[in-house]
Amino acid sequence: MKQLIKNGRVIDPANKIDKIADVLIDEGRIAAIGTNLTAEDAMLIDASGKVVTPGLIDMHVHFREPGQEAKEDFKSGTEAAAAGGYARVATMPNTKPVVDTAALVRGLQKQAEDTGLVHIEIIGALTKGQNGTELAEVGDMAAAGAVAFSDDGHYVQKAKVLLNGLDYLRTFGKIIINHDEETSLVEDGYMNEGHKSAMLGLKGRPTVAEDIAVARDIMLAEYADARVHVAHISSAHAVDIVRQAKKRGVKVTAEVTPQHLTLTEDCVDLTDSATKTNPPLRSQKDVDAMLAGLKDGTIDMIVTDHSPHAEEEKDVEYAYAPSGFPGLETAVGVLLTDLYHTQKADLPLLISKMTAEPARIFGLDAGTLTIGKPADLTILDPNQEWTVEEKNFYTKGTHSPFVGRRLTGKAVLTMVDGRIVMKDGKVIC
């Protein structure tokens, strides 16, 4: 079947395209991009006033399989991804059991093929059980197709273990994604350490915990001449540490979330655990540094850290609630509302950080509208106004700090391998 997308603003950073054009899809692949395209028997899709981009990519989600399907599973998670405009995601291994064997990687790949609406990449654990003491069978998992390795949710405290992992995975061309917070400095902390935490009487998680961890991991990567990726960076000083390391030629990359680009610790409300995240929401100075790092290339990509939890888990006192909230369905709206429409960031920059850059860094055959490539694409309406409502979420987790917000900008179509999986906010299974 052919589809012809007409008169959209096509933004494909990988190919340096930004123009009003038509896109023809034939047999699930990009067939042509140009003006005044025609095709017999093609389904016409009017994209006038809208933006056509490569399918969005999120390299940091938590779909909770195996073992925690009450929070999220591949079906609900990929429905949320499709609803948010994402054609490809990578799921973290901090599940029950931890994804630390090749057999689990292969099993999850089969599950993704059977139930996923969008492409799912599997991230394997760096250490057995994510205990930080012994490397998992990372070579076998790499051979099975694990896209990267991470003990996300856990800081790898033993430098020797991380160095061994960097040395070993360098031979496979794989990246270690590190959750960087020095554990001894954040134990029992619930939010950013500062004036607000003191006023609320909550123990804080200081930015220096992140700074120390990022600096150590960069030094180890530099020593090993290996690649390391900083997960959900949030500290202004940590951004500068990454910036200086890149200038030295260290193979370090970094990601940031919409919440750390737009929300501050002032949003923390003890009556609503939705704002409890890890790392925590920081100060305005840190938020400003995230945007500066995004614009100057220090921060390479935007991820959601989509982390849904069951209703009964989050609906408790702030201190006892788990960290994290769902982000796939709100990311585009938040970024366009708070960054694009405020003229803090332009569309090509945001789209690049959500398509071409993650694909390049993780070696994915994605993130582009190149002729002949699979037709993974997203259509955005940058001016559509909508309100975030729990009842409209496809994710199982509904506690989000963005619930109730009026946003401007939304994904209105998601296509995966030429198949429309979401149109006008409705997921098509």
* Average pLDDT of the residues in 83-93: 98
Q: Which phi-psi region, left, alpha or beta, contains residue 49 (left: φ > 0; alpha: ψ -120 to 50)?
A: left
Beta carbons within 8 Å of 257's beta carbon, 6+ residues apart? 60, 232, 302, 303, 304, 305, 327
- Nearest in space to 176 (alpha carbons), one of 216, 120, 118: 216
Q: Are residues 46 and 59 in the same domain?
A: no
Q: Are residues 136 and 236 in the same domain?
A: yes
| Boundaries of domain holding 403 | 2-52+373-427
Question: What is the reported pLDDT for 188?
Answer: 86
Residue 368 falls within a domain, yes or no? Answer: no
* Terminal C-alpha separation, the chain: 18
- Burial of 311 by CB count in 10 Å (0-12 exposed, 13-18 middle, 19+ buried)? middle
Question: What is the reported pLDDT for 1?
Answer: 82
Q: Are residues 48 and 62 in the same domain?
A: no
Residues with active-site annotation: 305
* Average pLDDT of the residues in 68-80: 97
Q: Are residues 200 and 324 in the same domain?
A: yes
Using the predicted structure, report yes or no on whether residue 429 has a pLDDT greater than 90.
no
Q: What percent of the chain stands above pLDDT 70?
A: 100
If pLDDT is split at 50, 70 and 90, which confidence band does 187 have? confident
Express each pLDDT in 331-369 by its tens digit.
999 999 999 999 999 999 999 999 999 999 999 999 999
Write the CATH number for 377: 2.30.40.10
- Nearest in space to 409 (alpha carbons), one of 357, 355, 342: 342
Residue 217 falls within a domain, yes or no? Answer: yes
If pLDDT is split at 50, 70 and 90, which confidence band does 324 have? very high
Domain boundary, last residue among 362, 391, 416 = 362
Structure tokens at 53: 């981009």
Q: Are residues 210 and 304 in the same domain?
A: yes
Q: Are residues 274 and 176 in the same domain?
A: yes
Judge whether 231 and 240 are in contact, CB under 8 Å.
Answer: no
* Average pLDDT of the residues in 140-156: 96
Q: Are residues 27 and 116 in the same domain?
A: no
Q: How many domains does the chain divide into?
A: 2
Residue 415 falls within a domain, yes or no? Answer: yes
Using the predicted structure, report yes or no on whether residue 220 has a pLDDT greater than 90.
yes
Express each pLDDT in 289-321 by its tens digit.
999 999 999 999 999 999 999 999 999 999 999
Q: Are residues 12 and 121 in the same domain?
A: no
Q: Are residues 398 and 325 in the same domain?
A: no
Write the CATH number for 64: 3.20.20.140
d(Cα 299, Cα 224) in Å, to the nearest integer? 22
390: DSSP letter: G
Express each pLDDT in 231-269 by its tens digit.
999 999 999 999 999 999 999 999 999 999 999 999 999
Q: Are residues 419 and 323 in the same domain?
A: no
Express each pLDDT in 6-60 by its tens digit.
999 999 999 999 999 999 999 999 999 999 999 999 999 999 999 999 999 999 9
Q: Are residues 82 and 217 in the same domain?
A: yes
Look over the chain and give the mean of its residue pLDDT values, rounded to a whole number.
Answer: 97
